[in-house]
Structure 1
Amino acid sequence: MYSNGKNLAHSGQGRLAGNITAFVVFFIMFLGCLYSLSFWTLENAWIPGISCFVLVMLAFGIPQHILGMSDKHPAKTAEQQD
């Protein structure tokens, strides 16, 4: 894919092992969130509910907010938006 004469494809940058590792770690966190809901009862709802909420926020928040923009330089991204 090209934009303003620049190639925007990200294939072949050598990040496959790191991407697979991150996917596995955060997918396990998401599965842990679902597993914590199996302990949900009417008498005991706070601990499974809070643990599910924390795990799902970590499983989705870390990849989107921390890992998603970690390779971007602020000056370069500002230039690309213009």
Structure 2
Amino acid sequence: MYSNGKNVTHSGSGRLAGNLITFAVFFVLFVAAIYSLSFWTLENAWLPTIACFVLTLLAFAVPMTFMGRGDSHEVSAQK
């Protein structure tokens, strides 16, 4: 499929390094969220739980909400 003279089938090609870096950053956030639960005790439950929630929110919400918008623009009609 072509749009504006460009092949849109391979629109993500050439972005491997950026994709790997982005994956690594958000995967580290997710692992840190799981690691924060290792500090959870009955005496100290609030801080690790809040840290896990915030880190998990960052690890999942940021990529899905802000970074996944590359295909949400409206395609203009070709003339």
Sort the TM-score into its range (normalised by shorter chain): 0.7 to 0.9
1:74 counterpart SS class: coil
In 2: Cα distance, 1:75 partner to 1:11 partner: 15
- Following TM superposition, by how much is the alpha carbon of 1:10 offset from its aligned partner in structure 2, in angstroms? 3.1
Give the total of aligned pairs: 72
In structure 2, relative to structure 1, the CA distance for the partners of 1:65 and 1:12 (3 Å cut) is closer
The higher-RCO structure (CA 8 Å, 6+ apart) is 2
In 1: Cα distance, 2:31 partner to 2:12 partner: 30
Identity rate of aligned residues, in percent?
51
Q: TM-score, normalised by structure 1?
A: 0.76
In 1: Cα distance, 2:42 partner to 2:72 partner: 49
The answer as to 2:52 corresponding to 1:59 is: no
In 1: Cα distance, 2:68 partner to 2:21 partner: 15
1:49 partner amino acid: T
The answer as to 2:19 corresponding to 1:13 is: no
> What are structure 1's unaligned runs of at least 5 residues?
1-5
